[in-house]
Amino acid sequence: MPPARAAGDAAGAEARRLAVQGETAWNAPLGGYGLSVDADLLRLSAFADGAAVIRLAASAGVGMDIFNDHEVGPRWAFMPRLRLALGTRGSLAVSLGAGISSGKSQAFPRGSTRADGELSVEGRGDGGLVARVFAGLSATVDMTGGQAHPSRAPYLGLALGYAFVPNPEATRSLSRETSIFSGTVTSPPAPASASISSPVLRCMPPTDAGRARR
C-alpha cells in the first residue's frame, strides 16, 4: 500500500468517532431490537506510540421487546464505556461498559429498571461499516408491580451500523498528524532548478600568427 494511502486509512478509521447502530439481541438493555447512537467522547491514554488507545465512549438508544406473541414493550438504555482501540488504524476495539436501562420486557411485562454490565468486541472499517458483538449481565434494581423473577440474568446480541466523522476539519488535521508520527510524510517536490546550458565551443578563424606558422 502506498504511504499516502496508508496514512489516509489510519486517519479514516481513527476519526470515525460517531456511530449509529441497529441491534438484535436476547434479553439486552434495549430488548430484542434497538437503535442506538455511540460516540467517542474523550481520549484517555495511548500506549506503544499509538498502537493502542483508550477512549471514554457512551451510547444511548431506544428499543423494544416482543412478548406474549404480540405485545410490544418500549425500552431505553444509556451506557458509558471504556474502549481499547487496538492497532494504529483503530479498526478493532474491545470495550467494557456499565449502564442503566428501563422498560417492559419478556421477564417483566409491567416494566423494570436494571443495571447492566457489558463486554463487547467491535470492528470498524475504513469505509464506515461497524460490527459489534456484545454480552453482559443485568441486575434488576426496580420492579414495577413486584413481579417475582430472577434479579440477575445474562444477555447477548449483535449490532451493525455506520460510523462517520463528526468534524471533517479535525479529520484532515488528524490525517496530517498520523502521517508525521508514522513516518510517511513525503517531502514536497523540490522546485525545478534552472537548467544550465553547457557552453558551446565555436570554431574561431585562425589568427595571423597561426597562419604564419603554417
Q: What is the pLDDT of residues 12-57, one digit of tens each?
A: 556 678 999 999 999 899 999 999 999 989 888 877 666 678 999 9
- Once rounded to an integer, what is the mean pLDDT over residues 81-88? 85
Q: How far is CA 155 from CA 24, 118, 134, 135, in A?
A: 11, 9, 8, 6
Whole-angstrom Cα distance, residue 207 to residue 71? 117
Confidence of residue 97 (pLDDT cuts 50, 70, 90): very high
Is residue 187's pLDDT more than 50?
no
pLDDT at 99 over 90: yes
Indicate the average pLDDT of the chain.
Answer: 75
Report residue 195's pLDDT band, with 50, 70 and 90 as the boundaries: very low
pLDDT at position 182 is 43
Furthest-apart CA atoms within the chain: distance in Å: 132
Q: Distances from the Cα of 115 to the Cαs of 39, 99, 102, 139, in angstroms? A: 20, 6, 9, 5
The span from the CA of 21 to the CA of 130, in Å, is 8
Q: Write down the pLDDT at residue 112.
A: 87
**Secondary structure, 3-state, the chain:** CCHHHHHHHHHHHHHCCEEEEEEEEEEECCEEEEEEEEEEEEEEEEECCCCEEEEEEEEEEEEEEEECCCEEEEEEEEEEEEEEEECCCCCEEEEEEEEEEEECCCCCCCCEEEEEEEEEEEEECCCCEEEEEEEEEEEEEEECCCCCCCCEEEEEEEEEEEEECCCHHHHHHHHHHHHHHCCCCCCCCCCCCCCCCCCCCCCCCCCHHHHHHC
For the chain, give every domain's residue range.
Answer: 17-164
pLDDT of residue 152: 87
Phi, psi of 155 (to 5 degrees): -150, 160
Mean pLDDT over 111-136 rounds to: 93
Helices 3-15 + 168-181 axis angle, to 10: 130
- In this predicted model, which residue has the larger pLDDT, 51 or 10? 51
Range name among 21-25, 88-92, 170-174 with the lowest pLDDT average:
170-174
Backbone angles phi, psi at 115, to 5 degrees: -100, 140
Q: Are 19 and 190 in contact (CB under 8 A)?
A: no
pLDDT above 90 for 86: no
Return the CATH class of domain 17-164.
Answer: mainly beta
